[in-house]
Each structure stands twice: as C-alpha cells, then as structure tokens.
C-alpha cells in the first residue's frame, strides 16, 4: 500500500500552536484541516446529530475539566459512567490481573454500579483449536510458561453482550485480544489498564526510559541487518 500525500501526519506538527488554538497548521501541507475540510465538517455535524456522540463528548469533557491532573483514570471512568447514566458495567479482564480486577469491582460497587465480569480463559479453549501452532502454546520464546489454554476475548464479549452491560472496561487484555473484544462488544468499551509485561503495565514508560531506547535501537538494528543480509543473498 502506497502512502497518499494527503494522508495526515499530525505527529510531525506542533499542534499546540495550531488546531489547539483554532487554526490550521502552517507547517504541514497535509494538515487535515486543509486537505479534508469535508470530513472535518461531517465530524462537526455528528456532534449535533448523533445523540451518543454528543452526550459522550460532553460528559468526557466535563470529567476532564472537573478532575484534570488530580483524578486517577479509575475515577475518570466512574464519573464518565455516572454522567452517561450507566448502572451496569462489564469487566473483561486478564487472569493475571484478577487481584486488580477484584479491587476495581469492589470500588465500582461502592459507587453503586452493578458489576459483571468475565476472565480471559473462560471456556477453556485450547490454543491449537483456534489455529495457534503447537510450538507457541505452552512456553514463550522468552522462556516463560504461558499455558495451552487461549485467551478468549470472543466469549468475553458475547457473554457481556448477553448480560446487557451498558459499558465494558478492559483490564489488561493482550494486544490483539483487546481489538477482537472491542469489535464484538455491543456496549461501548474503554481500557482501564493496558497490558505491558515489561513494565508495571505502563506502556508509556518504554518511550522515555533508557531500557526502552536501548530495546528499540537494538531491535531496529537487527531488522536492518537482516534486510541487508537478504539483499545480498
């Protein structure tokens, strides 16, 4: 797939000086406010026409303003759910985070929510039965025991759909499994804890730590080395 010159690259812009203060970028010619005004207009109309979008955006903005810097993400999640009028919440969690999930559920219940939860191993489906090669089913390639039962985000989503939850909260689902769950969930989904086993589940840490810089520098160096080797063959 080739890149379209009009595909936005907002990460290359100092957006704080432009869209954040109400104007298009002077740095980038592919600023979406310049090249896709029709889509920006459609988005703006949705805030008026789509009741969920309108309400969700308003509630989220109020929560941000009320708790900025001071509230943890769990408090933001609680206040958003309250603002949306939700009373029944679902937790789709990683088995490795059962203690965290117990605490989350306990707090949510104290705030008056009904909590339904499903563990990632529900159904006890074998990895080989969903097409995972056997050599990836018991031990990780980094030397850890990972087990032969697959995570089951499909069942988690379908079970929560069956329970008619109004909002579902992800607690440490694996990358990819979170995507599968979100695609199948009938209720809106938010992530409370993003899994990152290399850090205490803080994916942002790798971006600024010495470990993160070293990891990606080494990884990319190896990739380039293999690419050069293939070209020579």
Instruction: Quick: pLDDT tens for 12-57.
Output: 998 888 999 999 999 999 999 999 999 999 999 999 999 999 999 9
For residue 83, the Cα-to-chain-centroid distance in whole angstroms is 21
> Whole-model pTM?
0.89
pLDDT at 205: 86
Mean pLDDT across 202-218: 83
Mean pLDDT across 61-86: 97
pLDDT at 1: 43
pLDDT digits (tens, 9 = 90+) for 109-168: 999 999 999 999 999 999 999 999 999 998 999 999 999 999 999 999 999 999 999 999
> How far is residue 176's CA from residue 21's CA, in Å, rounded to a whole number?
35
pLDDT at 2: 53
pLDDT at 215: 81
**CA count, 13 A, side-chain hemisphere, 35:** 14
What mean pLDDT is reported for the chain? 94
85 or 225, higher pLDDT: 85
> How far is residue 98's CA from residue 95's CA, in Å, rounded to a whole number?
5
pLDDT at 211: 75
Percent of the chain with pLDDT over 70: 99
Interior angle at CA 187, CA 183 and CA 189, nearest 5: 65
pLDDT at 203 over 60: yes
pLDDT band per the 50, 70, 90 thresholds, residue 3? low
**CA count, 13 A, side-chain hemisphere, 31:** 17
């Amino acid at each position: 797939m080739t890149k379209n010159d009009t595909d936005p690259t907002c990460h290359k812009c100092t957006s704080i000086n432009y869209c954040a203060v109400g104007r298009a970028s002077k740095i980038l010619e592919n600023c979406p406010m310049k090249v896709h005004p029709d889509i920006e207009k459609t988005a703006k109309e949705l805030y008026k026409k789509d009741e969920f979008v309108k309400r969700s955006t308003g509630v989220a903005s109020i929560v941000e303003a009320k708790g900025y810097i001071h509230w943890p993400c769990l408090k933001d999640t609680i206040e958003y759910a309250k603002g949306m009028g939700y009373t029944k919440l679902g937790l789709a969690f990683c088995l490795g985070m059962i203690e965290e999930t117990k605490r989350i559920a306990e707090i949510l219940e104290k705030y008056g929510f009904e909590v339904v939860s499903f563990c990632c191993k529900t159904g006890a489906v074998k990895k080989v039965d969903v097409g995972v090669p056997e050599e990836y089913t018991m031990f990780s390639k980094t030397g850890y025991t990972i087990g032969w039962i697959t995570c089951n985000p499909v069942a988690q989503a379908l079970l929560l759909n069956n329970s008619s939850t109004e909002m579902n909260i992800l607690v440490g689902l694996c990358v990819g499994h979170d995507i599968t769950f979100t695609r199948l969930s009938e209720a809106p989904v938010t992530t409370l804890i993003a899994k990152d086993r290399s850090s205490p589940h803080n994916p942002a840490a790798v971006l600024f730590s010495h470990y993160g810089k070293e990891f990606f520098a080494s990884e990319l160096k190896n990739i380039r080395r293999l690419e050069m080797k293939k070209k020579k063959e």
